[in-house]
């Protein structure tokens, strides 16, 4: 990422020469390349900024303008998000956007046991309350096209089944069985069509290490749909850090209670079971797509290589167990 591209853009926006320093890429994002840097103007103005731009290959194909619009919609609300700054199609070498850095923020690593320590309950209450507030939001306010409540599940199922069929490169009997089960099992219409974050989990939030949630990140999969889609993904065992608790925070019952209180929705256990299978089928498809990029030689990104191995194997085990319980 050439620093001169950033300097030219910010110089034009600030109306003064801007120097860029400390430009560093964070490895770990799956659908965007993420960089952190300092911008200093000739007047002494200084800002710590984060750039998220499209990579050559990604786990998922998403629209950076939709992600930027979601940040704009939620900034200053009950859902903490980084402050969006600018969205460009060419200024960064590829389409992307700038946002202000969240100072002091840290994210839970996938393999990190008990990432919140003694603050797990406090973070969990804030985490699932924030999710509930997201699910109160009108999709139109975030620039999202709405869907009919009765169609929310089918549309997501069709989307991910197409992605699976497009990217599979070897026999995948467990994932095939999951999609067959989902297709033949009725699911109630969404209680409310709302903003769905799409990738709400422990690794996509920042906390301060002392029990305070600072920001919800990575809105690249945001869409209108059924709020139980987010809840099931947030509670997926892959994000439990081997604790047995959603996001390594609260027990499931308490997490659901916090979400209910904030969202104003009632938890439907039957529908949630459908969305649990969906979440793992979606996850498996994402990991298969990651592996396909490596196998086809389109990418050598270690993030994609990791996603196509350990998370894939984890979901093969947990998904087979879910299907055995439900078949």
Q: What is the mean pLDDT of the chain?
A: 94
Torsional sign, CA 44, 47, 52, 55: positive
| CATH 3.90.1200.10 intervals, the chain | 117-326
CB 217 within 8 A of CB 190: no
Which pLDDT value is given to residue 89? 80
Query: Is residue 100 over pLDDT 60?
Result: yes
CA atoms of 221 and 82, how far apart (whole Å): 16
Q: Within a 10 A sphere around the Cβ of 109, how many other Cβ atoms?
A: 12
Element (H, E) at 50: strand 46-53
Res 95: pLDDT? 82
Query: Which residues fall within 8 angstroms of residue 255, CB to CB, at 6 or more apart?
Result: 124, 127, 128, 234, 235, 245, 246, 247, 249
Instruction: Tell me which architecture the domain covering 117-326 has in CATH.
Output: Alpha-Beta Complex (3.90)
Percent of the chain with pLDDT over 70: 96
Residue 315 confidence (pLDDT) above 60: yes
Please write the tens of the pLDDT for every residue from 275-306: 999 999 999 999 999 999 999 999 888 888 99
Q: Return left, alpha or beta for 165; rule: phi > 0 is left, psi -120 to 50 is alpha, else beta.
A: alpha
pLDDT for position 2? 73
Strands 205-207 and 33-41: unpaired
Angle at which helix 227-234 crosses helix 252-263, to 10 degrees, equals: 150
CATH C-level class of 3-100: alpha beta
Q: SS3 for 249-289, per residue? A: CCCHHHHHHHHHHHHCCCCCHHHHHHHHHHHHHHHHHHHHH
pLDDT per residue over 42-98, tens digit each? Answer: 999 999 999 998 875 544 555 788 999 999 999 999 999 999 999 988 778 778 899
- Confirm if 68 and 50 have CB atoms less than 8 A apart: no
Q: Looking at residues 32-44, what average pLDDT do you find?
A: 94
Residue range 188-200: mean pLDDT, rounded: 97
pLDDT at 55: 73
Mean pLDDT, rounded, for 97-115: 95
Q: Which residue has the tokens 């900034």?
A: 75
Domain with CATH 3.30.200.20 in the chain: 3-100
Is the predicted pLDDT of residue 230 greater than 90, yes or no?
yes
Residue holding tokens 């809105």?
219
Closest CA to 30 of 297, 290, 293: 290
pLDDT score, position 33? 85
């Amino acid at each position: 990422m050439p620093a001169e591209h950033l300097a030219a853009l910010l110089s034009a926006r600030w109306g003064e020469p801007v120097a860029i320093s400390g430009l560093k890429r964070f490895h770990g994002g799956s659908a965007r390349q993420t960089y952190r840097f300092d911008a200093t103007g000739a007047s002494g103005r200084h800002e710590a900024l984060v750039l998220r731009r499209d990579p050559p290959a990604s786990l998922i194909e998403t629209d950076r303008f939709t992600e930027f619009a979601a940040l704009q919609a939620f900034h200053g609300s009950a859902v903490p998000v980084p402050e969006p700054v600018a969205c460009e199609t060419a200024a960064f070498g590829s389409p992307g956007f700038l946002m202000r850095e969240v100072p002091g923020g840290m994210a839970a690593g996938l393999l990190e046991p008990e990432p919140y320590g003694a603050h797990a309950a406090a973070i969990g209450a804030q985490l699932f309350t924030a999710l509930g507030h997201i699910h109160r939001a009108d999709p139109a306010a975030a620039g999202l096209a709405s869907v009919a409540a009765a169609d929310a599940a089918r549309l997501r199922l069709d989307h991910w089944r197409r992605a699976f069929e497009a990217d599979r490169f070897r026999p995948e009997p467990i994932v095939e069985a999951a999609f067959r089960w989902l297709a033949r099992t009725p699911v109630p219409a969404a209680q409310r069509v709302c903003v769905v974050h799409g990738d709400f989990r422990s690794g996509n939030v920042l906390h301060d290490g002392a029990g305070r949630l600072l920001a919800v990140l990575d809105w690249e999969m945001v869409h209108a749909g059924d709020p139980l889609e987010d809840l099931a993904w947030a509670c997926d065992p892959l994000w439990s850090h081997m604790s047995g608790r959603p996001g390594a925070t609260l027990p499931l019952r308490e997490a659901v209670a916090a979400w209910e209180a904030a969202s104003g929705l009632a938890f439907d256990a039957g529908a949630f079971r459908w969305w649990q299978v969906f979440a793992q089928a979606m996850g498996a498809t994402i990991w298969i797509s990651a592996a396909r990029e490596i196998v086809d030689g389109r990418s050598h990104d270690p993030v994609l290589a990791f996603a196509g191995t350990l998370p894939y194997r984890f979901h093969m085990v947990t998904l087979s167990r879910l299907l055995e319980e439900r078949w």
